[in-house]
Structure 1
Amino acid sequence: MDNLCPFYTNSSPAEPPADTLKRVLSGKVQGVCFRIETQRNAKRYGLVGWVKNRADGNVEGEAQGPPSEIEKLVGHLKEGPRHAKVMGYQEADLDVKRGQEAETTFSIIRKTG
């Protein structure tokens, strides 16, 4: 029997729209709690991903989630924590990670070795 209701489908609900953003920030961005503040804001907005210090003195991070929440995080990244001074940034849109590649939380990647 055909379904007469145009709003009914047999498929599972679609995943909410998501974006993935990668950003590298330069300036006074290490030693000023930038990673902790980024993680706190990302979790508040329901984003997943990571943030880390780079050997060149910059901070790099990747965040995935709803576009409106990504934009909120970007606003915080441009400002940085109180003692930070963001002088520049590079950004790139990335493909959304799904399945085994997907992040499940927002983490701080610490140096190893």
Structure 2
Amino acid sequence: MSLTTYESKPVAKWNVNDFLAYLEAEHKRIFGIQYAPFKSFKTERGMLGNWAGTKRKPGKYGPELTKRFIDRCLAKYKPTRDFPGVSFGWMTLHMAYVRQQVEAEIQAEQQRADRNEGVDNTWF
């Protein structure tokens, strides 16, 4: 039996383990070093669960916003000699403005989709 990974399922179905595996893979790919969690993996798991949700409890922002936030933060972060990498916990504390940007983008996308719902595109 093969294990299901974040690569084989839609982001909407990601769980905390998928997000951690994604963070580790992207961190290694982008920064070339191993991922280090904020305080501990237990802390990081709790933060990701609060953001994206768990089997028992929906998250504050959901998996799609959480992934887009992570991607944007990883792209914006500029490593330094003293801080060559970044963690999810650090992102949530020091890059909260990115969450606000992503949240506004998602709301605008939803409003566009709502406006276009029911429009017949066959004649365009």
Pair in the same fold by TM > 0.5: no
TM-score (norm 1): 0.28
TM-score (norm 2): 0.26
Structure number with greater CO (CA < 8 Å, separation at least 6) is 1
Greater strand percent: which structure?
A: 1
Pick the structure with greater CA Rg.
1
